[in-house]
C-alpha cells in the first residue's frame, strides 16, 4: 500500500474539528474519495488531543468497522491501539445487503440506533459512496437523521452540491480528494468484501434453532432460502453477528444456520436480501433492484421445497441462485438504477 499523504487542507480541517469538538461529524463523498482514510486520520488526531472518539461506519460495502452488510460502531480507546480497518464492532446493525440501493430504510434506522449508543465526545459517521441518483435522497435523509454539527464533504467536481444545497444552514467543510487516492475496481471491491465475510465467519459453527422459540424478522416474500444472508440478534433485538441459512431439520421444526454467534444468545433471526456461499462469495437474488423480468420464473417457484403441515418456518427454497445480471435489462429503468456499480 502506498504511503498516506495527508494534504495540508485535511490537516487544517482536523485541527478545526479538534478545536470545535462537534458531537457528530458526518463524512460525505463518492466512492474512492478518501472517506475512510480521513475518518481514521481524524479519529487518531482527536484521540491524540485527549478526546474520546467513536467511529460509526454506515458504509455497507467497504467496511472500516464490522462485516459487510452491517453498520458498525466502535469506541476508540487509545491513540496507541492499531487503527487498521476493518475494526471489530462493539455494536452492529444488520442492513441486509452490501448495497444501499433498496436498503435505505435499514440504513437510516440502523444509523440512528447506533448513534444513540455512542458515548464519545466526537462520533465520526462514515457513509456509502452513493451520492448520485438515489444517493441524493439517502444522504439528505441521513443528514436529517444524524443532525451533524459538522459535515466534511470530500468532492472532486462539486458532485456533492445537489445534496449540500438543501443544508446550507449546517456547517460544512468542503475538502479536496487527494491526488494519491487509488480507485478500487468493482472486482477488487467484491474481493475485499469476500475477505471480510470470510474473516467474520472464521470459527463459525452450524447450529439448529428451535422454530418455537426463534423470532423471525424481515422474511422475504419468496420465503427463506438456503444460502440467504441473515443476522442473528439477542432478546433486545441487537444484532450479534451474521448468519447463513443452511436448511431445515426435523421435518421443518428446526432451522440450521451457520454463524459465529453463541447459540445461547440468539433470540431473533433477521433476514437479509442476498445470498452468501461458504466461501464468502456473494449471490444476489432478492432485491427488487436486481430482479430481472424472468424472476421469479414459474419453474423456479415450483422448486420450493414442500414441507409437512404445521411447519413453523416458511418454506426454504432450493439452492439455486440467480447471478446478478452483468448487463441488466431491468424493467425498473436504465442500468444505473439497477446495479449500484458505485457501491460496495
Ligand X SMILES: Nc1ncnc2c1ncn2[C@@H]1O[C@H](COP(=O)(O)OP(=O)(O)OP(=O)(O)O)[C@@H](O)[C@H]1O
Footprint on this chain of ligand X (rule: CB under 6 A):
1-2, 4-6, 29, 31-37, 59, 62, 129, 178, 180-182, 184
Of 275 and 344, which CB lies nearer to Mg ion in the complex structure? 344
Of 27 and 224, which CB lies nearer to Mg ion in the complex structure? 27
Question: Which residue is associated with the grid cell 479519529?
Answer: 43
CA triplet 229, 232, 237: central angle to 5 degrees? 130
Which entry of Mg ion, ligand X, none binds 20, CB below 5 to 8 A by partner kind?
none
What is the smallest separation between the CB atom of 103 and ligand X, expressed in angstroms?
Answer: 16
DSSP class of residue 258 equals: E
Of 63 and 283, which CB lies nearer to ligand X in the complex structure? 63
Of 59 and 282, which CB lies nearer to ligand X in the complex structure? 59
What is the smallest separation between the CB atom of 62 and Mg ion, expressed in angstroms?
Answer: 5
Sign of CA dihedral 137, 142, 144, 149: negative
What is the smallest separation between the CB atom of 241 and Mg ion, expressed in angstroms?
Answer: 22
Of 53 and 232, which CB lies nearer to Mg ion in the complex structure? 53
Cα Rg of the chain, angstroms: 21
> Helix 134-146 crosses helix 104-117 at what angle (to 10 degrees)?
20
What is the smallest separation between the CB atom of 61 and ligand X, expressed in angstroms?
Answer: 7
- Cβ pair 110, 11 in contact under 8 A: no
Which entry of ligand X, Mg ion, none binds 182, CB below 5 to 8 A by partner kind?
ligand X
Interatomic CA distance for residues 126 and 163, integer angstroms: 16
What is the smallest separation between the CB atom of 178 and ligand X, expressed in angstroms?
Answer: 4
Of 37 and 246, which CB lies nearer to ligand X in the complex structure? 37
Is the backbone peptide bond immediately before 269 cis, with ω within 30 degrees of 0? Answer: no
What is the smallest separation between the CB atom of 283 and Mg ion, expressed in angstroms?
Answer: 24
What is the smallest separation between the CB atom of 192 and Mg ion, expressed in angstroms?
Answer: 10
- Cβ pair 257, 232 in contact under 8 A: yes
Residues in touch with Mg ion (CB under 5 A): 35-36, 62
Pairing of strands 24-29, 122-127: parallel
Of 6 and 109, which CB lies nearer to ligand X in the complex structure? 6
Of 36 and 338, which CB lies nearer to ligand X in the complex structure? 36
Tell me how far apart the 2 most distant CA atoms of the chain are, in Å. 68
- Cβ pair 93, 218 in contact under 8 A: no
What is the smallest separation between the CB atom of 176 and ligand X, expressed in angstroms?
Answer: 10
Interatomic CA distance for residues 342 and 210, integer angstroms: 40
- CB proximity list for 272: less than 8 A, separation 6 or greater: 69, 94, 95, 96, 97, 218, 228, 229, 230, 231
Which entry of ligand X, Mg ion, none binds 252, CB below 5 to 8 A by partner kind?
none
Interatomic CA distance for residues 178 and 10, integer angstroms: 9
Which entry of ligand X, Mg ion, none binds 343, CB below 5 to 8 A by partner kind?
none
Interatomic CA distance for residues 69 and 90, integer angstroms: 16
Amino acid at each position: 500500500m502506498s504511503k498516506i499523504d495527508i494534504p495540508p487542507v485535511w490537516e487544517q480541517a482536523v485541527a478545526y474539528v479538534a478545536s470545535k469538538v462537534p458531537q457528530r461529524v458526518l463524512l460525505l463523498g463518492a466512492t474512492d474519495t478518501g472517506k475512510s482514510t480521513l475518518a481514521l486520520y481524524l479519529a487518531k488526531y482527536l484521540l491524540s488531543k485527549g478526546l474520546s472518539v467513536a467511529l460509526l461506519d454506515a458504509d455497507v460495502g467497504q467496511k472500516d468497522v464490522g462485516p459487510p452488510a452491517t453498520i458498525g460502531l466502535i469506541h476508540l480507546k487509545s491513540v496507541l491501539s492499531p487503527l487498521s480497518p476493518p475494526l471489530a464492532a462493539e455494536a452492529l446493525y444488520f442492513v441486509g445487503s452490501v448495497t444501499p440501493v433498496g436498503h435505505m430504510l435499514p440504513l437510516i434506522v440502523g444509523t440512528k440506533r447506533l448513534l444513540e449508543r455512542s458515548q464519545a465526545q466526537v462520533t465520526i459517521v462514515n457513509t456509502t459512496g452513493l451520492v448520485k441518483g438515489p444517493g441524493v435522497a439517502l444522504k439528505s435523509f441521513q443528514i436529517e437523521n444524524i443532525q451533524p454539527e459538522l459535515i466534511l464533504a470530500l468532492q472532486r467536481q462539486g458532485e456533492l452540491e445537489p445534496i449540500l444545497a438543501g443544508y446550507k444552514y449546517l456547517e460544512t467543510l468542503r475538502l479536496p480528494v487527494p491526488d494519491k487516492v487509488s480507485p478500487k475496481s468493482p472486482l477488487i471491491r467484491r474481493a475485499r468484501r469476500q475477505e471480510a465475510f470470510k474473516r467474520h465467519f472464521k470459527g463459525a459453527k452450524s447450529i439448529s434453532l428451535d422454530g418455537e422459540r426463534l423470532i423471525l424478522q424481515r422474511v422475504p416474500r419468496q420465503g427463506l432460502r438456503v444460502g440467504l444472508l441473515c443476522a442473528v440478534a439477542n432478546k433486545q433485538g441487537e444484532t450479534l453477528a451474521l448468519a447463513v441459512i443452511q436448511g431445515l431439520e426435523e421435518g421443518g421444526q428446526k432451522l440450521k444456520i451457520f454463524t459465529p454467534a453463541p447459540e445461547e444468545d440468539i433470540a431473533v433471526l433477521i433476514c437479509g436480501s442476498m445470498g452468501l456461499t461458504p466461501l464468502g462469495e456473494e449471490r444476489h437474488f432478492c432485491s427488487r433492484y436486481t430482479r430481472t423480468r424472468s424472476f421469479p420464473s414459474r419453474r423456479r417457484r415450483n422448486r420450493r421445497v414442500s414441507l409437512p403441515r404445521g411447519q413453523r418456518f416458511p418454506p426454504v427454497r432450493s439452492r439455486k441462485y440467480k447471478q446478478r445480471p452483468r448487463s441488466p435489462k431491468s424493467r425498473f429503468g436504465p442500468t444505473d438504477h439497477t446495479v449500484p456499480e458505485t457501491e460496495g
